[in-house]
Amino acid sequence: MFRSVITGTGSYIPTIIQSNVDFTNHSFYQENKQPLEVPSDEVVEKFRQITGIAERRYLPNHLNTSDIAAIAGRKAIEDSGIDPETLDQIIVAHNFGNVVKETIQTDAVPSLANRVKHELGIHRAGCIAYDILFGCPGWVQALIQADAYCKAGMARRCLLIGAETLSRVIDMYDRDSMIFSDGAGACVLEYKEVDPAGPGILGYAAESHSMEEIYHINMAESYFPGSDPAVRFIKMKGRKVYEYAMKHVPLAIKECLEKSDVKVTELKKIFIHQANEKMDEGIIKRLYQLYDLDPVENIMPMSIHWLGNSSVATVPTLLDMVRKNEMPVHTLERGDVILFASVGAGMNVNAVCYRY
């Protein structure tokens, strides 16, 4: 039988560390443009307790999203050992395109995937390059999409990248700005013949809820009084996002497991979007409650404490670090059944079950 198999991974972790201490001298405002009455150091500490984030990574000024996407992609190609000219598709998941430092306009023309193909020096015209916009679940959705193309006979090798520079679209007067970060992760997905018990994508589930949930995450003006209303920043209704994720992500994972004919007790690792430590822990707890079970210890690798929320990059970056033994406690062995899951703007949620 044939399955879509991850044969290589790569990532780019920015070098600039922005710690929580760096935010203690910020002035934070509310949506009504009134200042928060709580001292900034207390705001920062409460933020750490809720999200688990102690520091995050920002991109140097001379690099942009397409640059780090290419770096992560090149590492994945090298890890897989393939000839890049044999790639059939390059899919780049992002949300804001390239955002040049100190500017207010995003640039996604040409697409980031086309820029990555150019940077990698791939000449073959049959290698189709395109972007996908699906909120934070974009890279997981790229897995789903690439697998569908492979099963349809339209692709055999795909390079899938999630890259983002959220540090350039945040409102520094909004306490939620402390959540977001930059980074890139990638994998090579190959459609190949395997044994029934061999590696590859086993199944997936995805949903879009775009009625009352549509603006839980959106773009809006700064909270700072007198700010230019024409300049937009990423905004998030934290409580609404939390409630949405707690309700829908466990159900999406359950649906994915059922479609994959996999029992929850067979899961060795769950790679979940690194959005909020308490939220992710809550999602895992609710998932196991659906089966009247207690969560398995060390089932969920976490990088949010030191990398923050880099949107589409969190899941592939996490996978790359675990594959390369860069996260204590967490390892993968051949035959392990793992799961990727994410939630984000749209609102969108998805999950992919995979045998390593």
| Integer Cα distance of 69 and 302 in angstroms | 22
User: Are residues 250 and 115 part of one domain?
Assistant: no
Average pLDDT of the chain, as a whole number: 96
Residue among 12, 145, 4, 15 nearest 73 (CA)? 12
User: Are residues 207 and 188 part of one domain?
Assistant: no
Neighbours of 332 (CB within 10 A): 15
Instruction: Say whether 141 sits in a helix, a strand or coil.
Output: helix
User: Are residues 212 and 153 part of one domain?
Assistant: no
Asked if residue 347 has a cis previous peptide bond (ω within 30° of 0), the answer is yes
Residue among 61, 51, 72 nearest 119 (CA)? 72
As given in the structure block, the two tokens for residue 303 are 């990088």
User: Are residues 325 and 188 part of one domain?
Assistant: no
Domain assignment of residue 342, given as a range: 200-355
User: Are residues 170 and 51 part of one domain?
Assistant: yes
Alpha carbon 5 to chain centroid, angstroms: 19
Single residue among 158, 193, 228 that ends a domain in this structure: 193
Residue among 268, 262, 260, 253 nearest 338 (CA)? 268
Instruction: Say whether 95 sits in a helix, a strand or coil.
Output: coil
User: Are residues 226 and 133 part of one domain?
Assistant: no
User: Are residues 142 and 106 part of one domain?
Assistant: yes
Residue among 265, 258, 257, 323 nearest 292 (CA)? 265
CA atoms within 13 A of residue 181's CA, in its CB half-sphere: 32
User: Are residues 175 and 235 part of one domain?
Assistant: no
Q: How confident is the model at residue 146, as a pLDDT?
A: 98
Distances (CA, A) of 288 to 16, 51, 263, 284, 293: 37, 21, 11, 6, 5
Whether pLDDT at 118 is above 80: yes
User: Are residues 243 and 163 part of one domain?
Assistant: no
CATH number of the domain within which 111 lies: 3.40.47.10
As given in the structure block, the two tokens for residue 195 are 């044994």
Whether pLDDT at 3 is above 80: yes
Single residue among 172, 193, 214 that ends a domain in this structure: 193
Write out pLDDT tens, residues 35-88.
998 999 999 999 999 999 999 999 999 999 999 999 999 999 999 999 999 999
**Total number of domains in the chain:** 2
Q: How confident is the model at residue 137, as a pLDDT?
A: 98
Write out pLDDT tens, residues 304-322.
999 999 999 999 999 999 9
Q: How confident is the model at residue 100, as a pLDDT?
A: 86
User: Are residues 118 and 206 part of one domain?
Assistant: no
Single residue among 137, 170, 193 that ends a domain in this structure: 193
